[in-house]
Structure 1
Amino acid sequence: MDRRHDHAERPRRHGLRDHRPGRGVAVARPDEPRPRRSDPRDRKHGRHPAHGGRAAEEPLMKPSSRLSLGADVINLLIPHRRPFSMVDVIESYERTPRPTLRAARHVSANEPVFEGHFPGLHLWPGVYTIEGLGQSSNLLGIIAAYQDAWEKKGRDPNEVLEALQNLALGYRMQPGYKPEMSAALIESLKTHSHSHVGMSASVDVKLLQPVFAGQRLEYLVSQSHLMEDLARYEVEARVEGRTVAKGVMTSTRSIPPLPAPIFG
């Protein structure tokens, strides 16, 4: 038997290197995935070849309708006042595919709670983070309910957002404010402010990381279910991109009937 011929026909083992002249190419195992080539489209869509082309982590929210409301407008929507007002600003809102709101709270070292929680350590109470998520959910429910009521009157629900944004211009003393555009809305909010409180039915929120003075709490709340006067919200709080609290809240929703016309 010709051993040279036998050596040439002998099957190579997978994963070993063939050292014969001109054959110095590593042979991959059949069960090993081949490396994925880089695709310029990956950068455009936030994918990375090392991750199998999967999309990168989604941002906190991608709003379809920007809504920037400060503390003065928030005080018209809910009755909470300092030191128990846990929402400083509403940053964005979207109605579809489901009502979602993004808000925030700056944690100042001058908060009265830090006098005893804890001495020598400015640790933000976890119950305050949960309260902020609850107030954000309440704000979302109120805005969504006003839009629903306005739509039932055959009007464009975006007019509610325009009236709220117009109010923000007035409180911030910015050009473009039209007092007549939001006068009826202000009257309705002031008259029925006591009815804008959503009573908590259940709270299932886990505190995942501590929050300290000097940090900025970001709230993301999304309405997942609505059953008559009960609303269920998926809630999340973040600090510097890290999730510090996450869970589910269920609360009642009591919105008074709107006068007509409310926006003129």
Structure 2
Amino acid sequence: MVIDIQGIMDRIPHRYPMLLVDRVLEMVPGKSIVAVKNVTINEPFFQGHFPHLPVMPGVLIIEALAQAAAIFSFSNEDGTMLDSSKTAYYLVGVDGARFRKPVVPGDQLMLHAEAERISKVICKYKAKATVDGEVVAEAKIMCAIRDLG
């Protein structure tokens, strides 16, 4: 299942400059996702990280992985959206984060996330980011779902 930027914005509340997923290439709702973040020199964080040698901050790579995980966690088995308007989704834990290579302008960041556990309250994922087939970052991510009811 491919989801374009409009479908992504329909599923998660993030917007520029914090929307860090450009396209979904593969998704198995409730199970896994492969998504893309195209990294360009126009990203606002490159102005200060670092002007002489632009590198995407590791925390933003982790945030991109968490956003990708949210997209498939809030999808029904047929890929349609669950009603997420009454819930909030928070990144609450990151374990074993490793950053293997810098991510720079021109890279296409592939975001891979796999569900280890999804419940109505807490979700755990095994996630990795790759560029040109090489792992650039990986972590176990935990997110909490809160009822806004």
Same fold (TM over 0.5): yes
The structure with the greater share of residues assigned to helix is: 1
Residue 15 (structure 2) aligned to one of 59, 81, 94:
81
* Matched ranges for 1:166-181 at <5 A: none
Structure 1 runs not aligned, ≥5 long: 1-66, 148-156, 165-184, 258-264
Stretches of structure 2 lacking an aligned partner (at least 5 in a row): none
Task: Give the partner amino acid of 1:71.
Answer: I
Show the 5 A alignment for 1:161-200.
161=79, 192=85, 195=87, 197-200=88-91
- 2:135 is aligned to 243
For 2:13 and 2:61, locate their aligned partners in 1 and report how far apart those are by CA, in whole Å.
18
The structure 2 residue matched to 1:92, chosen from 17, 22, 26, is: 26
Which one of the candidate residues 53, 71, 77 is aligned to 1:121?
A: 53
**3-state SS of paired residue (2:89):** coil
| Counterpart residue identity of residue 37, structure 2 | R
Instruction: With the length of structure 1 as denominator, give the TM-score of the two structures.
Output: 0.52
Q: Secondary structure at the match of 1:140?
A: helix
Task: Please say if residues 236 and 245 of structure 1, whose CA atoms lie closer than 8 Å, have aligned partners that are also in contact.
Answer: yes
1:86 and 1:77 mapped to 2: Cα distance? 13
Deviation at 1:215, TM superposition (A): 0.5
What code does the residue aligned with 2:100 have?
A: L
Q: Is the 8 A contact 1:142 1:255 kept in 2?
A: no
The 2-side partners of 1:227 and 1:78 are apart by 18
TM-score normalized by structure 2? 0.89
Shift in CA distance, 70/120, structure 1 to aligned 2, threshold 3 Å: same
Task: Determine which of 114, 123, 142 is the counterpart of 2:74.
Answer: 142
Q: Secondary structure at the match of 2:17?
A: coil
State the shift of 1:228 in Å.
4.2
State the 1:201 CA deviation: 2.2
Which protein is richer in strand relative to its size?
A: 2
Amino acid in structure 2 at the alignment position of 1:199:
Y
Cα offset, 1:255, TM superposition? 7.2
Tell me if 1:252 matches 2:141: no
Q: Is the 8 A contact 1:71 1:89 kept in 2?
A: yes
Write out the 4+ residue segments of structure 1 that deviate beyond 3 Å after TM superposition: 254-257
The aligned length equals: 148
Distance in 1 separating the partners of 2:147 and 2:108: 30
Contact conserved, 1:68 with 1:92, CA < 8 A, in 2? yes
Q: Among 8, 22, 36, which residue is 1:104 paired with?
A: 36
The Cα of 1:200 is off from its aligned counterpart by 1.8
